[in-house]
Amino acid sequence: MKTINENNKWGAWSASFWMVLVIALGIIFIGVGFIVSPKVNAAGYGIPLSSNSDIAFGRIKGIRDIFSGLALLPLLLFGMKRAAAWVFTAAIVVPATDCLIVLATNGPSDIQHLLIHGLTAVYMVITSFLLFKNQSLKTY
């Protein structure tokens, strides 16, 4: 069986650990907001709900956001830097796509929401770089 020799020195003293934790807790908070108040949070996302029948879609987004944050927490808790790096890097698709959805829906004039999603994606790219920095891709 191949195992990965992971550096167990990753944890609360690492900037990348806290950068991942900020995103994990932030997206859980956003998800809870979508479940509790989907109309308000959809407007904050950049695409308001158009009718009361859309509320369910806000709540669907909320539970998926909560799951996304919860998926990262055990990786942080157990110091699994490599796994956190791969999961976190794959998750960049979410804010990048959110940015494109806002752009397609509202156009380029919605700078506020484009910046929220776009800068989140940039933050995540930087965090991913830090997570992979100094990691060997060898298996033993």
DSSP string, 28-66: HHHHHHHHH-HHHHHHHHT----SGGGHHHHHHHHHHHH
Structure pTM? 0.86
Where are the chain's structural domains?
15-132
On whether the CB atoms of residues 62 and 29 are closer than 8 A, the answer is: no
The pLDDT tens digits of the residues spanning 35-74 come to: 999 999 999 999 999 999 999 999 999 999 999 999 999 9
The pLDDT tens digits of the residues spanning 28-40 come to: 999 999 999 999 9
